[in-house]
Amino acid sequence: MIRPFDWRDVSLVMQLSDQGICLDSIARLTRESQPLQEALFAYLMPGTGAPTLIWKDNGHAAFGQLRHRPGEEVARALFIAPAWSENNAGWLPLVDRLAVEAGERGGHHLIAEVDETSGEFEALRRAGFAIYARQTIWQLLEETHIPAPSLPIRPASSADTIAVTTLYHNVVPRLVQQVEPAPRPGRGYVLEQDGEVVAFLDVRRGPAGIWVEPYLHPEAYDLSEAMLHSALHHLAKTNRGGRPIYVCVRRYQDWLQDILHAANFDCLGSQAVMVKRLVARQLEPVLKPLPGMEASVTTTTTPIARTPTHFSQN
């Protein structure tokens, strides 16, 4: 049986949390995994935290958590415990129900990030997920000397929205664009040349770390090293407590790997970024009757078709 988390499940979530896996790298590295806190927030203050589902059967138990902001098309599988094993009968049913929950909340895509050699990767494929991107995560080593900035990068603002969106469409493969929206420019840095934004660094800050995702135009290849050093210089000035700095490089910008290695970053590993589509595209227009003719014209509609979701234990 699968049901929403309530106060009776506090001890269960506490016991299983150490056995689980976080499927959202930004959450794991910038905020650290706090499943019980996320579950309590969502339970006590709907709209916050992470909606949590509890699975129980014949004395066995598991739980799964979802990350989704109201109005957004992308939802993320946040945390599942215990981690995958063939003996964990609740894992696949929980993933299926997380997809249902995301769809009911208005999500179009459910995303999960996993090591491609892990058991979770194969389990997600069985649950209907497919790879749409690959990424490598790097961490800046401590005591790294950061050169003085040599490029006039500046904090991005809402006025850069169109320019950043244009850069995103020029850099990111169309397959990825179909799943992930363009980044919001109010939380990073931009570099302009001749009045055009040629680089954008999307920055997410959390109490446990800082996440940086670069978007560099191919024409700015020669500036990538200087751009990285300038961004690190700005980040260091506001990095209270010396939080770790992580840089995520998607495979379509693979040339940044060598630059990060030379800048004293350590490779933490690579991941498959997987998606389960929760809705299908509407292929025919919705025909509406003309005013005053409702009695004689039949309205033909094509409903959004949701991907069938199974609850069998595989």
Residue 188, pLDDT above cutoff 60: yes
- Tens digits of residue pLDDT in 43-88: 999 888 899 999 999 889 999 999 998 888 999 999 999 999 988 8
Tell me which residue has tokens 């979770």.
120
Distances in Å between the Cα of 286 and the Cα atoms of 135, 240, 278, 283, 300 are 39, 54, 20, 10, 6
Residue 32 has pLDDT above 60, yes or no: yes
Contacts of 94 (CB under 8 A, 6+ apart): 2, 53, 55, 62, 63, 64, 80
Cα separation of 190 and 291, whole Å?
50
CA–CA distances in Å: residue 59 to residues 25, 52, 56, 89: 31, 19, 7, 12
pLDDT of residue 102 exceeding 50, the answer is yes
More confident residue, 113 or 303: 113
For tokens 């929980």, name the residue.
94
Pick the more confident residue, 142 or 259.
259
Sign of the CA dihedral with 308 first, then 309, 310, and 311 last: negative
Looking at residue 46, its pLDDT comes to: 86
187 token code pair? 């939380």
Domain 138-272: give its CATH code. Answer: 3.40.630.30
Task: Name 79's bridge partners.
Answer: 22, 65
User: Domain residue spans in the chain?
Assistant: 2-128, 138-272
pLDDT above 70: residue 293: no
* Structure-model confidence comparison of residues 156 and 149, the more confident one: 156
Residue 302 to residue 44: CA distance in whole angstroms: 38
Pair type for strands 245-250 and 209-216: parallel
What pLDDT score does 283 carry?
44
Decide: helix, strand or coil at residue 312.
coil
What single string gives the DSSP state of each residue in 204-255?
Answer: EEETTEEEEEEEE-GGGGGGHHHHHHHHHHHHHHH-TT---EEEEEEGGGTT
- Asked whether the predicted pLDDT for residue 16 surpasses 60, the reply is yes
**pLDDT of amino acid 281:** 46
**What is the pLDDT, as a whole number, of residue 200?**
95
pLDDT of residue 294: 42
Tell me, what's the pLDDT at 221? 86
**Per-residue model confidence (pLDDT) at position 285:** 52
pLDDT at 295 over 50: no
> 286 or 81, which is more confident?
81
Can you tell me the distance from the alpha carbon of 213 to that of 149, in angstroms, rounded to the nearest whole number? 19
Class for domain 2-128, per CATH? alpha beta
Same fold, 2-128 and 138-272: yes
Question: Among candidates 174, 179, 183, which has minimal Cα distance to 201?
Answer: 183
% of the chain exceeding 70 in pLDDT: 89
- Element containing residue 113 per DSSP (H, E): strand 109-114
Rg (CA), the chain: 22
Would the pLDDT of 146 be above 60?
A: yes
8-33 average pLDDT score? 95
Q: What is the mean pLDDT of the chain?
A: 88
Q: What does pTM read for this prediction? A: 0.85
Residue 236 or 108, more confident: 108
pLDDT of residue 24: 97
% of the chain with per-residue pLDDT over 90: 71
